[in-house]
Amino acid sequence: MFKKLGLLATAFAFTFTLVGCGADDTADTTDENGNDDVVENGDVVENGDVAYAHVQGVTDTHIYVANSAAASGPLAGVGVPFLAGMDAYFAMVNEDGGIHGRQIERVHIDDEFDPAQAISALETFLHDDQVFALVGHFGSTPIGATWPEIVRSGIPAVYFAGGIGVVYNENATHGDGRNSFPVQPVFPMEGRIFTAWAYGHFDAETIVVIHTDDDAGEDFIAGVTQEAQELGIYENVHFVQVTTGAVDTTAAIAEALGHSPDVIIAGSIQGTIRQIAGELAAQNNTAPVLTSYVNADVSVATDIYPNISGQFDLFASSWVNMDPEAMEDYQYWVAQVSSEDFSLNSFAMTGWIAAHFFAEGLRRTPADNINWETFIDAMEEAPIQNPFGPAVDFANGLRVGTQDLALVQMDGEEEAGWAPYLDFMNMEAILAE
């Protein structure tokens, strides 16, 4: 049973590693010269200073939220189900009377995964549609392009569909990303947890990090470095770079194995993990390898397992499980909003998760005082339970994504895939081992 369910869970692996609303009845926030103003504690602050007590996108009957995502083009197979998952959750909420007597209305612009279009869409959401929040901001490249304006504007942004490290902050403040709420794992946090696993569970004395030369690789370096320094083991960590998408990794792997690692952390995303694992096998590596949840995909296992079987163990992080009650709700409602069968679609499930986190924060926000500041306070009030995984804590400016990860192991007993190895643990629990 787990084999099938577990493969579905790890299908969340590569989720987003890539991955007109009726605002006429919202408040006008322009001054007499047509410049954008914001409202802070009842006072107008001219020309765009961050104002978290700002109210827009909230009426007596509706709350408007927005996101841009690829609904056409080569990534439509990701974006369309993601949007369907969000719509399914909001349909369930609205059928039950909404939140605080208000229906949730989602506004969408197809940005085709183009950062320039994502920037344009954000400007439309902020100034034309005047939505209350962004929900399910989609894809690392568009996230990176729009991040400065998201922070500057102060609009709440719930769930980033990408592991990009720009959203990582352990003590976010106003003007420094406090309005952002990452849920799925963020690469710097993964790097920290991998280091804790290597040290606390695998008893590694020497750790080698094989990382790509892209943003993901840099984010893993940052996380590993931070945790290794805090543990006092940084001098025993060695970093080896490979070119993203490299076909030949012979020299890099030889360098890595020259350090005689007890554990290898593969800080790369899908295109390169196959080459890294294959060359490790070719050069007779026996050390266990830890890699990102983005690589815990059936196709990766199918490609890699025959080469490494019996030689070394490959593990990946995992951030979801399949709660039966949550699955029942999800599958019923996604069938109501889409003619396509998304009942077991991991992208649609992440859309459901994104909408859930926003709705939970809104439920905590005072019905008679809904603004950006009160919503942000509500999101920080207590951890929010992921319907398909562990709770996420945003207290005191903590913006690091999922903080409890499970570990799965590449397995080929029945067919190439991933099997459970360690249940969800945070760093404190890992190190307590």
249 and 391 inside one domain: no
251 and 331 inside one domain: no
How far apart, in Å, are the Cα atoms of 362 and each of 60, 126, 177, 319, 366?
15, 19, 19, 24, 8
CATH number of domain containing 291: 3.40.50.2300
- In this prediction, residues 193-201 reach a mean pLDDT of 97
Q: Would you say the C-alpha torsion 311, 5, 345, 315 has a positive or negative sign?
A: negative
- What is the pLDDT confidence band of residue 128, given thresholds at 50, 70 and 90? very high
pLDDT value for 51: 58
- What is the pLDDT confidence band of residue 140, given thresholds at 50, 70 and 90? confident
pLDDT value for 138: 87
Rounded mean pLDDT of the chain?
88
228 and 79 inside one domain: no
Quick: pLDDT tens for 235-273: 999 999 999 988 999 999 999 999 999 999 999 877 799
255 and 139 inside one domain: no
- In this prediction, residues 336-341 reach a mean pLDDT of 96
85, pLDDT greater than 60: yes
Extract the tokens encoding 111: 């940005």
DSSP secondary structure, 11-47, as one string: GGGGTT------GGGSPP-B-TTS-BEEEETTEEEET
Query: In which domain, by residue range, is 258 found?
Result: 187-319+405-432
Q: Is 179 helix (H, G, I), strand (E, B) or coil?
A: coil
Number of domains in the chain: 2
194 and 180 inside one domain: no
315 and 351 inside one domain: no
Question: How many Cα atoms are found within 13 Å in the side-chain-facing hemisphere of 279?
Answer: 20
pTM of the model: 0.87
pLDDT value for 46: 40
289 and 428 inside one domain: yes
312 and 368 inside one domain: no
35 and 150 inside one domain: yes
pLDDT value for 12: 55
248 and 170 inside one domain: no
232 and 131 inside one domain: no
pLDDT > 90 in the chain, percent: 76
Quick: pLDDT tens for 283-295: 999 999 999 998 9
92 and 103 inside one domain: yes
Quick: pLDDT tens for 1-60: 334 344 444 445 544 444 433 333 333 334 333 434 433 333 334 444 555 678 899 999
Q: How many residues make up the chain in this entry? A: 433
